[in-house]
Amino acid sequence: MSTGKIVLGAVVGLAVGAIAGVLFAPASGSRTRRRILDKGEDYVEQMKDTVNGYIDKAKEGYEELVSQAEHVVKEGKRNTMAS
């Protein structure tokens, strides 16, 4: 599943949840709005954590790729000098 689909799904879920919360809330309007804002902030933090996880994995993959490329270059130079 792509990152874009996950983020889009989270945003749509947040919007649907907020609307449903307002429509079916037994609490007062101001209290309900505060709860929705708090829940929205929780979802934003979760999305940030998820995106940061993907960024960290991408950085690790990049660093591994650079390391492998440097190794290939060193081996190529060593083989060229030995010939």
CA dist., res. 56 & res. 52, Å (int): 6
Q: What is the pLDDT along the chain (83 residues), one digit of tens a residue?
A: 677 788 878 888 888 887 777 777 676 778 877 887 888 888 888 888 888 999 999 999 999 999 999 999 988 888 877 76
C-alpha of 45 from chain center: 10
- Alpha helices by DSSP H, listed for the chain, are 3-24, 29-82
Angle at 72 between CA 75 and CA 74, to 5 degrees: 40
- Identify the pLDDT of residue 59: 94
How much is the pLDDT for 31? 81
Q: What is the pLDDT of residue 83?
A: 64
Q: Which two tokens stand for residue 61?
A: 């993959």
